[in-house]
Structure 1
């Protein structure tokens, strides 16, 4: 981290004293919050991160305006915060020093707005990066899930259709088995009747042959 970036970070972040007691926070200017859309159904509560402070401060460093501007004014406010004075006096005293260098309240406001716009640009870039990651890591998987769901439904319908066809085939098979049983009975009955008739007729003929041999000499 550059020396300027370390100092810049120190303007906005007050370190915790060694005794563990929290120091009085330095007043911060309102900056646009990074907009994130969490994956979870319920909104997530974000927390301040040094990592993202470094990214945002780096953007401010890269776009630092020449001369005395809002950042220098903010540093003056931090120095005055160590003195026993109220907030209004602190802001007025820092502005008096700025006026000595030809700085007006309008220039300070314009400078602060300039850095807000720098941070807004970083927010837009970060959001674009998040959207790309969301599409890569979530969107593609959501599409795959939708495709699998459609496949499951199609196969479920196919299974239902095949189940109906199997039931119909089993019904046809049962009917055919019944027809076979009926046909077997009919065929065997016919064969038995034929053999009975055949036996009776051949027996009569055999008896006639025997009697003809006996009586016709």
Structure 2
């Protein structure tokens, strides 16, 4: 039951998160994701006369440009979980963003919206030091950047496992096809050689058959001479020599 309530809370947080950053986004219709800014996290002075606070080190962009995508509710819920874990007690950047979003429907200039949101944020009990608000926003960026790094490692692992495995299979099949093609070529050459030999054998069979038949005829003719000679001699012996 506690897990169901947690999941329900995260789902609601995800929808709320989506509404804060994407104006009038439908719940079930994907919308194009705007390109993520590559600049460092925003910093601002602690006060009008105070020095600028140090920025949080940004995550280096991936060498491969991300493919164009659309808002996916699965990732909305995921980022909701990431941001909820980074959320600190009390008013912080998330509440400031919520207030700023609510002011977007009013007929105010951008600087007036931010000034009004800042005043409302302090009225909610938020720190009067703008650097605290900036630090909380940078904490969200850091949490998202860390999650992006982990996701990139997961993507790289998936590429190595899935795409790398398929690439190896592709190379293996190509090598097998090349080997089979060579075997087919060799077999075709063997067939051509056999066909040539078969044509020769047909002529040789005729020639050898003729020679054998000729030899047989010569044998029988020669045999008939010897048999006839012996038979004549036997006949003459019986005629001329008496016992």
Q: Fold conserved (TM > 0.5)?
A: yes
Supply the distance in 2 between the matched residues of 1:131 and 1:107 (Cα, whole angstroms).
36
Q: Quote the offset at 1:59 in angstroms.
A: 0.5
Match of 1:12 in 2: 21
Residues 130 and 200 of structure 1: CA distance in aligned 2, closer, same or farther (over 3 Å): same
Change in CA separation of 1:189 and 1:71 when aligned onto 2, cut-off 3 Å: same
Structure 1 pair 112–195 and aligned structure 2 pair: CA distance change class (3 A): same
Q: What are the Cα deviations for residues 96-154 of structure 1, in whole angstroms up to 9, with x where unaligned? A: 34456443333333322221121122222223333333444433223222211211211
Residues 83 and 143, structure 2, Cα contact 8 Å, conserved in 1: yes
Trace 1:136-215 onto structure 2 (pairs within 5 A): 136-203=161-228, 206=231
1:197/1:146 CA distance change after superposition, 3 Å: same
For 1:76 and 1:47, the matched residues in 2 are separated by: 26
Q: Where do 5+ consecutive residues of structure 2 fail to align? A: 1-7, 27-33, 39-60
Which stretch shows the higher mean deviation, 207-216 or 179-188? Answer: 207-216
**Aligned partners of 2:21, 2:67: CA distance in 1, in Å?**
24
Q: Structure 1 178/14 Cα, relative in aligned 2: closer, same or farther at 3 Å?
A: same
Task: Give SS of 2:107's match.
Answer: coil
How many residues are matched? 201
1:83 to 99, 106, 128: 106
Deviation (angstroms), 1:89: 0.7
Q: Pick one of 158, 162, 166 that aligns with 1:133.
A: 158
| Structure-2 change in CA distance of 1:131 and 1:207 (3 Å) | same
Q: CA RMSD in A?
A: 3.7
Please name the residue that 2:96 is paired with.
73
CA contact (8 A) 1:68 1:103 kept: no
Indicate if the aligned counterparts of 1:31 and 1:116 stay in contact, CA closer than 8 A.
no
* Alpha-carbon separation, structure 1, partners of 2:102 and 2:220: 128
